[in-house]
């Protein structure tokens, strides 16, 4: 396993649509090594997710993981390590929510995007087993962000109001409190079983 360099906005690979893997390709040592590298790179960078494009590989693999008190996104509810291969997202209903996002490939910038409040995520895990899960709230946003990467889309493209762009420092100083209040409301709404 190794920590790989993360490419930043402007690199064409972030604008490519990554291609599906065949079952044989997914089982190959190369794909399994890439998955390990994505996990290690995400953890080293303190990300909540990482897509293969971000380390220069255009295959449809992404990883997501959020622990308690995540360093970059402490208000996000925990997500166990999830490897998603060939993911397909489908909105559950029409409801959307404004989420303030950042990205490891867009250094020191955050912005507010509209996300589906609930999505059905269909994907293969690293062993090729199919999963279908409904993800809601901030977690739904995290999955949409990563699948966007595999389609060559960055959160920048989804910011409707450019006035919401902030550096991380200015977010902390001027916007964090209001956003965290809304985020916690969402978390409470979806923690009820
Ligand atoms: Ni990102």
Q: Output the 3-class SS for 70-89.
A: CCCCCCCCCEEEEEEEEEEE
Just give the CATH number of 12-191.
3.90.45.10
Question: What values do phi and psi take at 15, rounded to 5?
Answer: -105, 5
Average confidence (pLDDT) over 31-57: 97
Q: What is the mean pLDDT of the chain?
A: 95
Q: Is 146 a catalytic residue?
A: yes
Residue labelled with tokens 């971000």: 54
Report the range of poorest mean pLDDT among 4-8, 14-18, 181-185: 181-185
Q: How far is the CA of 69 from the centre of ligand 1 (A)?
A: 19
Q: How far is the CA of 105 from the centre of ligand 1 (A)?
A: 6
Note whether 49 and 112 are within 8 A (CB).
Answer: no
Q: How far is the CA of 14 from the centre of ligand 1 (A)?
A: 10
Q: String of b and e for 162-173 (b: at least 16 CB within 10 Å)?
A: eeeebeeeebee
Q: How far is the CA of 79 from the centre of ligand 1 (A)?
A: 16
Q: How far is the CA of 107 from the centre of ligand 1 (A)?
A: 10
Q: What tens digit of pLDDT does each residue of 102-153 get? A: 999 999 999 999 999 999 999 999 999 999 999 999 999 999 999 999 999 9
Whole-model pTM: value is 0.96
Q: How far is the CA of 104 from the centre of ligand 1 (A)?
A: 5
Q: How far is the CA of 150 from the centre of ligand 1 (A)?
A: 10
The fraction of the chain above a pLDDT of 70, given in percent, is: 99
DSSP per position, 99-155: EEEEETTEEEEEEEEEEESEEEEEEE-TTS-EEEEEEEHHHHHHHHHHHHHHTT--H
pLDDT at 192 over 70: no
Bridge partners of 166, per DSSP, are: 110
Report the range of poorest mean pLDDT among 54-63, 72-81, 114-123, 184-193: 184-193
Which residue in 146, 172, 181, 184 is the catalytic one? 146
Average confidence (pLDDT) over 13-35: 98
pLDDT at 20 over 70: yes
Report the range of poorest mean pLDDT among 5-9, 26-30, 93-97, 179-183: 179-183
């Amino acid at each position: 396993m190794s920590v790989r360099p993360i490419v930043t906005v402007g690199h064409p690979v972030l604008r490519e649509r990554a291609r599906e893997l065949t079952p044989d390709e997914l089982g190959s040592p190369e794909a399994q090594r890439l998955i390990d590298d994505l996990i290690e790179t995400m953890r080293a960078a303190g990300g909540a997710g990482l897509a293969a494009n971000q380390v220069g590989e255009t295959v449809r693999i992404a990883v997501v993981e959020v622990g308690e008190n995540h360093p970059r996104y402490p208000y996000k509810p925990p997500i166990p390590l999830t490897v998603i291969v060939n993911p397909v997202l489908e909105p559950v209903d029409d409801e959307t929510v404004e989420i303030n996002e950042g990205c490891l490939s867009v250094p020191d910038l955050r912005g507010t995007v509209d996300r589906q409040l609930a999505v059905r995520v269909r994907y293969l895990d690293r062993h090729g087993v199919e999963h279908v899960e409904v993800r809601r709230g901030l977690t739904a946003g995290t999955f949409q962000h990563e699948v966007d990467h595999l389609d060559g889309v960055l959160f920048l493209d989804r910011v409707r109001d450019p006035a919401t762009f902030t550096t991380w420092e200015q977010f902390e100083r001027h916007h964090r409190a209001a956003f965290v209040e809304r985020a916690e409301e969402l978390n409470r709404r979806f923690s009820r079983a």
